[in-house]
């Protein structure tokens, strides 16, 4: 079992390269060393073993995405990878045109999440990543909350054909859930019609702690595009709390869409859209954005008291 999502990523990439001769990895320096010196991992030295199918273009992210699209055009299944801002934000138009507009498929895998490298500052943080990709058609978006879930979702992405984004993070839940791509997992069922709390990826453990003694249904989301509105509807909830590890409200429109015929209230919790200008550790940022268990409990209780 992989200890971290990064380890799961290296292992899954190894399985992809071994099983699919048309798979290829395109990098812009970031990630090269981990694939080269994967050390004690089962799949060490991937870059040597599959040298032809590792293409490093140097620190050129627009080219990384363009080259990946050219490979997809020639029938390959490209995987591109970098820190979140350099994978998605810097080459955003290449993703829009070279992949979405040209109708090509590929796998985008990020590390860094919203603030895994909190001490690196804003330049290495991209809490808007999922919101940005949501603006492009037909992107599947997966947010694993555990290394084992990352393995499942990455294997699903590499064996498929479309455009897929997998957002890896160092923040994880203690125990993996039996995730199924495209489906919410019902973590805890409250009474019929009880408020539904949707915990996305690594937010689950804090949500469970915050809601331990509340009559709520907790849904665990590891795929947010497509958004599993049916499972949400089936709870009968008319009060929904959405807890996301990136910009708050990113999937709010999907919640409203799923409940369009049902009067409902929605509270969105997540990373606030602001220049925080703080360093420190990820847990400091979790607290600063009100996403630690105590803050979540306060926010959710206040919301539920407004009946």
Q: How far is the CB of 31 from other proteins (least distance, A)?
A: 17
- Verify binding: residue 76, other proteins, rule CB under 8 A: yes
Rule CB under 8 A: say whether 47 interacts with other proteins.
no
Query: Measured between alpha carbons, how far is 278 from 284 in angstroms, rounded to an integer?
Result: 9
- Applying CB under 8 A, does 127 fall inside the site for other proteins? no
Rounded distance between C-alpha atoms, residue 127 and residue 112, angstroms? 10
Instruction: Say which residue the tokens 């989301």 belong to.
Output: 221
Task: Pick from 8, 27, 38, 71 the residue near other proteins by CB under 8 A.
Answer: 71
Helices (H) and strands (E) in the chain, counts: 13, 12
| Part in contact with other proteins (CB under 8 A); list of ranges 95-103, 213-221, 266-274, 295-303 | 95-103
Between CA 293 and CA 300 the distance in angstroms is 10
Give one word for 295, left, alpha or beta, with left for phi > 0 and alpha for psi -120 to 50: alpha
* Least Cβ distance, residue 74 to other proteins (angstroms): 3
**Which of the ranges 32-40, 66-74, 185-193, 294-302 carries the binding residues for other proteins, by CB under 8 A?**
66-74
Cβ–Cβ under 8 Å, residues 143 and 221:
yes
Least spacing, CB of residue 91 vs other proteins, in Å: 9
CA 143 to CA 6: how far, in whole Å?
13
Q: 48 — phi, psi (to 5°)?
A: -70, -45
Stretch that binds other proteins, among 93-101, 120-128, 133-141, 297-305 (CB under 8 A): 93-101
Min dist CB 66 to other proteins, Å, is 3
Give yes or no for residue 1 binding other proteins (CB under 8 A). Answer: no
- Structure-block tokens of residue 129: 């990543």
- What's the CA gap between 201 and 222, in Å, rounded? 5
- Minimum CB distance to other proteins, residue 69 (Å): 5
**CA geometry: angle at 80 spanning 32 and 228, to 5°?**
135
Question: Residues 42, 48, 101, 256: which binds other proteins (CB under 8 A)?
Answer: 101
73 binds other proteins (CB under 8 A): yes
The stretch among 9-17, 41-49, 73-81, 216-224 that binds other proteins (CB under 8 A) is: 73-81
52 counts as binding other proteins under rule CB under 8 A = yes
Closest CA to 53 of 39, 68, 63: 68
Regarding 94 and contact with other proteins (CB under 8 A), the answer is yes
Select the residue interacting with other proteins from 19, 39, 97, 209 (CB under 8 A). Answer: 97
- Residue 89 is classified by DSSP as I
Q: Does 135 bind other proteins (CB under 8 A)?
A: no
Q: Which of 64, 104, 55, 105 is nearest to 83 (CA)?
A: 64
Give the whole-angstrom CA distance, residue 262 versus residue 63. 46
Whether the CB-CB separation of 193 and 283 falls below 8 Å is answered with no
Q: Which stretch binds other proteins (CB under 8 A): 71-79, 148-156, 188-196, 236-244?
A: 71-79
Q: Which of 15, 29, 57, 105 binds other proteins (CB under 8 A)?
A: 57
Which residues are at the interface with other proteins (CB under 8 A)? 24, 26, 52-53, 55, 57-58, 60, 62-63, 65-76, 78, 93-94, 97-98, 101-103
């Amino acid at each position: 079992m992989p200890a971290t999502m990064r380890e799961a990523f290296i292992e899954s990439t190894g399985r992809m390269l071994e099983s699919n001769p048309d798979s290829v990895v395109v990098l812009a320096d970031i990630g090269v060393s981990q694939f080269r010196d994967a050390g004690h991992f089962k799949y060490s030295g991937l870059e040597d073993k599959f040298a032809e199918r590792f293409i490093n273009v140097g620190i050129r992210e627009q080219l990384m995405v363009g080259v990946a699209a050219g490979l997809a055009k020639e029938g390959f299944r490209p995987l591109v990878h970098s820190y979140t801002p350099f994978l998605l934000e810097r080459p955003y138009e290449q993703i829009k045109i070279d992949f979405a507009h040209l109708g090509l498929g590929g796998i985008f895998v990020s590390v860094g999440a919203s603030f895994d490298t909190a001490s690196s500052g804003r330049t290495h943080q991209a809490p808007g990543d999922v919101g940005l990709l949501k603006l492009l058609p037909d992107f599947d978006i997966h947010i694993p909350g555990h290394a084992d879930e990352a393995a499942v979702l990455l294997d699903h992405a590499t064996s498929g054909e479309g455009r897929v984004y997998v957002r890896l993070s160092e923040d994880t839940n203690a125990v993996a859930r039996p995730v199924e791509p495209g489906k919410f997992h019902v973590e805890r069922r409250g009474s019929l019609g009880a408020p539904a709390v949707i915990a996305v990826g690594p937010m689950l453990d804090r949500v469970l702690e915050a809601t331990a003694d509340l009559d709520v249904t907790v849904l665990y989301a590891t795929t947010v595009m497509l958004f599993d509105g049916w499972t949400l509807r089936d709870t009968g909830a008319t009060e929904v709390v959405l807890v996301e590890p990136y910009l708050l409200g990113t999937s709010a429109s999907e919640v409203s869409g799923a409940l369009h015929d049902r009067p409902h209230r929605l509270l969105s919790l997540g990373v606030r859209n602001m220049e925080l200008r703080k360093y420190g550790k990820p847990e400091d940022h979790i607290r600063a954005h009100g996403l630690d268990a105590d803050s979540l409990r306060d926010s959710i209780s206040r919301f539920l008291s407004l009946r």
